[in-house]
Amino acid sequence: MMIENKARKAKNASRELGIMSSGKKDKALEAMAQALENNTEDLIRANNKDVDMAVENKRPKAFLDRLKLDKNRVLAMSEGLRVVSSLPDPVGEVISQWKRPNGLIIGQQRVPLGVIAIIYESRPNVTADAIGLCLKTGNAVVLRGSSEAIHSNKAIVKIMKKAAFDAGIPEDSIQLIEDVRRESVNELVSQKGLIDVVIPRGGAGLIKSVTENATVPVIETGVGNCHIYIDVDCDLKMAENIVLNAKIQRPGVCNAVETLLVNRIIAPKILPGIIKVLEENNVEIRGCSETLGISPNITPSCPEDWATEYLDYILAIKVVSGIDEAIEHINEYGTGHSEAIITNNYFRAEEFLNRIDAATVYVNASTRFTDGFEFGFGAELGISTQKLHARGPMGLQELTTIKYIIRGSGQIRQ
């Protein structure tokens, strides 16, 4: 009943928020950004409780990295809000307009979705991103984070909610579900008529559970079994730098590379150096038989490795005959998230871009750029890997829908 009440409050607030001026929303975003900065120490203290609990529970290093807040990450959260504030407000935009022979003027106009429920795991920065993006697009938001970040999430919501309210935003526009039992997720995704869309942001288990139990529309986001293919024609140093960045910069996020595919001709030349630098950075290598022939001391791969999103310091490596085998492997095992080719060959680069079925496809760049901030969106609500409504990093436009606006002068249908 508590969850239904929060969803109902959010629904009522969304009606006022949905028609609020851009200026008022931007003022609130700036107020929330400043409030986060002003309360940095309080946020870090709350976050330390979650981190201490995670350490006590022997959670892996990559998990702790996703969970931890420090001064720079709080500043990044506030900077994200300010970037969102500076972007054009999509609400009210007339996408297209035309006049019919009978004189009717028909237009398509962007409007808020209404109430967005976000279900996410251990990254507390998602709390700030979700609130900022939803507020900018006139959507009320219902947040349900994980038990492992509950202290962080409560502190962030408390600070941002007060700042938004003081700036004139309806108080019930921001709701946090503090019940972290699994049953609360099922109850939240069953609020048909109150919740307009639910976005699960986390691992495969969370996304599967939400999609199977929801009675409201779901936008699936980002399980990231991401690949990099090193072509025979490539800059060796560039390939090494990109692979290292894509694996170790933040291994616990969905756009980190999980499988490296290497052209057979170049493999003996490039793999020893790449494996050496990866192992120096504590990455466990799991390789196919040909990779083992080049580096015998690594761990042999098993079939499950090709389908695994590690979110850890682990990388699978497979030697392939060429671009055709690489593309076939990616389209079979990839999750439609982020895929990359390293090549100096224009035609193979274009072939890779055209044939890979994924939300984001790269030539000569790290998969780590699949991110709303890096794409210029300020922040994101996740990386959509589905093909309906939204695909890729979900920024402001993806949090709106359209309605038709028809202006007449007395027309009736014959």
Say what the pLDDT of residue 216 is: 95
| Predicted confidence (pLDDT) per residue in 257-295, tens digit | 999 999 999 999 999 999 999 999 999 999 999 999 999
- Domain ranges within the chain, ordered by starting residue: 2-221+381-407, 226-369
Confidence at residue 205, expressed as pLDDT on a 0 to 100 scale: 83
**Per-residue model confidence (pLDDT) at position 372:** 78
What's the confidence (pLDDT) of residue 253?
Answer: 86
In the prediction, which pLDDT does 383 show?
Answer: 86
The pLDDT of residue 119 is 94
Per-residue pLDDT tens over the stretch 128-168: 999 999 999 999 999 999 999 999 999 999 999 999 999 99
pLDDT confidence of residue 118: 95
Model confidence over 212-244: pLDDT tens digits?
999 999 998 878 899 999 999 999 999 999 999
pLDDT of residue 273: 95
Select 2-221+381-407's CATH number: 3.30.1960.10, 3.40.605.10, 3.40.1360.10, 3.90.1150.10. 3.40.605.10
* Per-residue pLDDT at 413: 92
pLDDT at 129: 92
Provide the pLDDT for residue 252.
83
CATH of domain 226-369: 3.40.309.10
Q: What is the 3-state secondary structure (H, E, C) of the chain?
A: CHHHHHHHHHHHHHHHHCCCCHHHHHHHHHHHHHHHHHCHHHHHHHHHHHHHHHHHCCCCHHHHHHHCCCHHHHHHHHHHHHHHHHCCCCCCCEEEEEECCCCCEEEEEEEECCEEEEEECCCCHHHHHHHHHHHHCCCEEEEECCHHHHHHHHHHHHHHHHHHHHCCCCHHHEEECCCCCHHHHHHHCCCECCECEEEEECCHHHHHHHHHHCCCCECCECCCCEEEEECCCCCHHHHHHHHHHHHHCCCCCCCCEEEEEEECCCHHHHHHHHHHHHHHCCCEEEECHHHHHHCCCCEECCHHHHHCCCCCCEEEEEEECCHHHHHHHHHHHCCCCEEEEECCCHHHHHHHHHHCCCCEEEECCCHHHCCCCCCCCCCCCCEECCCCCCCEECCCHHHEEEEEEEECCCCCCC
Q: What was the pLDDT predicted at 66? A: 86
pTM of the model: 0.83
Q: pLDDT tens digits, the chain, 414 residues: what are they?
A: 799 999 999 999 999 999 999 999 999 999 999 999 999 999 999 999 999 999 999 998 878 988 999 999 999 999 999 999 999 999 999 999 999 999 999 999 999 999 999 999 878 999 999 999 999 999 999 999 999 999 999 999 999 999 999 999 999 999 999 998 888 999 999 999 999 999 998 777 888 889 899 999 999 887 889 999 999 999 999 999 999 999 999 898 889 999 999 999 999 999 999 999 999 999 999 999 999 999 999 999 999 999 999 989 999 999 999 999 999 999 999 999 999 999 999 999 999 999 999 999 999 999 999 987 788 887 778 888 888 888 888 889 999 999 999 999 999 998
pLDDT of residue 62: 78
